[in-house]
């Protein structure tokens, strides 16, 4: 059982890596921009995490003595195999990575279908009468335990009833080993996608789009009538840079970030600054100038964080 718990811990770690890419990586903005994919992604991640908890608690909790609860445990754990498989498949679909289920996962699905999915009439052949191979399945009640159960299977194409010993632990080991491989592959594919996005902007640093302090210093010349024209030039330059910054952020689909409205507010403040200059309202101009200068430092810190996020740190 230690191996199974270790595998579950590994899956939890891989899930955390996946969530980190989604929530903090550069693909976050593209994913969030497509609501259908975003909610599909959230649902699939939750199911992946839920099945992890279910498997772990199953392994660490005493098996019930009541017959009815034994069936509930049996049905539930087998259904978790399918839920985990399907959640992973849908995660692949969201990221448009080719999904190919493995032979081991197919076998596990076959056991679930025969045991609790399509127990009474379980077709493992084709749809035509000639290809059909229909089974009638029976879980042996007296054999149900935490480790598994015996499954009796009858088919009119077979001469004898088939007895299969279903081991939950063996099935779980096979599935977790497969899931670990598939999650590693998905994380790797996501890194490749992230790097493609980063390459588009590798020559554009957002922090370089922001005005340098020189221009704010020159705005102080508004208090000298002879240099007021240069102050207007400095303000125009600041405005142009912030317009360019806004366009760049929109190109990266960052317009839904909580701070994006502050960029738009900043452009409004520039217009108010210009108005106060035209009206010779020195007091208002001083206040706006202070705000623009201080807020520019705030945006520099914010853009530096985004630039760091766009650095290619995991080349493959």
pLDDT per residue over 298-315, tens digit each?
999 999 999 999 998 766
How far apart CA 119 and CA 101 sit, in angstroms, is 23
The pTM for the full model equals 0.85
CB 171 within 8 A of CB 296: no
CB 81 within 8 A of CB 171: yes
- Are 58 and 147 found together in one domain? yes
How far apart CA 17 and CA 183 sit, in angstroms, is 10
Q: Which residues constitute the domain of residue 178?
A: 2-198
- Residue 286 has what pLDDT? 85
- Residue 288 maps to a domain: yes
Residue finishing a domain among 198, 219, 240: 198
What domain count does the chain have? 2
- Are 88 and 221 found together in one domain? no
Of the candidates 264, 237, 251, 239, the one whose C-alpha atom is nearest the C-alpha of residue 204 is 251
Low-confidence ranges of the chain (pLDDT < 70): 220-227, 314-316
Q: How many CA atoms lie within 13 A of 286 on its CB side?
A: 4
- Are 206 and 223 found together in one domain? yes
- Are 127 and 213 found together in one domain? no
Going across the sheet that includes 162-167, the strands are 122-123, 134-139, 148-155, 162-167
- Are 180 and 274 found together in one domain? no
- Are 9 and 98 found together in one domain? yes
- Are 166 and 194 found together in one domain? yes
- Residue 295 maps to a domain: yes
- Are 56 and 190 found together in one domain? yes
- Are 100 and 117 found together in one domain? yes
How far apart CA 262 and CA 72 sit, in angstroms, is 54
- Residue 227 maps to a domain: yes
- Residue 314 maps to a domain: no
Tens digit of each residue's pLDDT (9 = 90 or more) over 116-131: 888 888 787 777 777 7
- Are 39 and 164 found together in one domain? yes
Residue finishing a domain among 142, 164, 198: 198
Percent helix / strand / coil, the chain, rounded to 5: 70, 5, 20
Residue finishing a domain among 198, 224, 250: 198
- Residue 315 maps to a domain: no
- Residue 209 maps to a domain: yes
- Are 112 and 80 found together in one domain? yes
- Residue 121 maps to a domain: yes
- Are 70 and 85 found together in one domain? yes
- Residue 258 maps to a domain: yes
């Amino acid at each position: 059982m230690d191996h199974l718990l270790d595998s579950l811990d590994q899956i939890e770690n891989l899930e955390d890596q996946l969530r980190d890419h989604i929530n903090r990586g550069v693909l976050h903005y593209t994913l969030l921009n497509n609501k259908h994919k975003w909610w599909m992604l959230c649902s699939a991640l939750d199911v992946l995490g839920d099945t992890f908890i279910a498997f772990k608690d199953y392994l660490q909790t005493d098996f019930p003595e009541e017959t009815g609860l034994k069936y509930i445990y049996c049905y539930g754990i087998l259904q978790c195999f399918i839920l985990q498989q399907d959640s992973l498949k849908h995660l692949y679909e969201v990221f448009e990575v080719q999904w190919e289920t493995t032979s081991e996962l197919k076998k596990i699905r076959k056991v679930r279908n025969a045991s609790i999915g399509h127990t009474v009439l379980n077709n493992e052949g084709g749809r035509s009468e000639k290809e059909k191979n229909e089974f009638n399945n029976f879980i042996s009640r007296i054999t149900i335990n935490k480790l598994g159960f015996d499954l009796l299977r009858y088919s009119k194409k077979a001469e004898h009833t088939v007895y299969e010993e279903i081991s939950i632990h063996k099935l779980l080991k096979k599935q977790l080993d497969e899931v670990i491989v598939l999650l590693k592959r998905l994380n790797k594919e996501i890194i490749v996608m992230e790097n493609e996005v980063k390459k588009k902007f590798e020559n554009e640093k957002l922090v370089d789009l922001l005005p340098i302090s020189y221009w704010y210093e020159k705005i102080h010349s508004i208090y000298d009538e002879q240099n007021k024209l240069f102050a207007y030039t400095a303000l125009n330059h600041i405005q142009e840079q912030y317009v360019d910054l806004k366009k760049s952020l929109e190109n990266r689909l960052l317009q839904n970030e909580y701070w994006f409205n502050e960029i738009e507010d900043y452009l409004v403040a520039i217009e108010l600054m210009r108005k106060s200059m035209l009206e010779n309202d020195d007091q208002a101009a001083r206040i706006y100038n202070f705000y623009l200068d201080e807020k520019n430092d705030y945006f520099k810190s914010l853009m530096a964080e985004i630039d760091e996020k766009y650095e290619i740190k995991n080349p493959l």
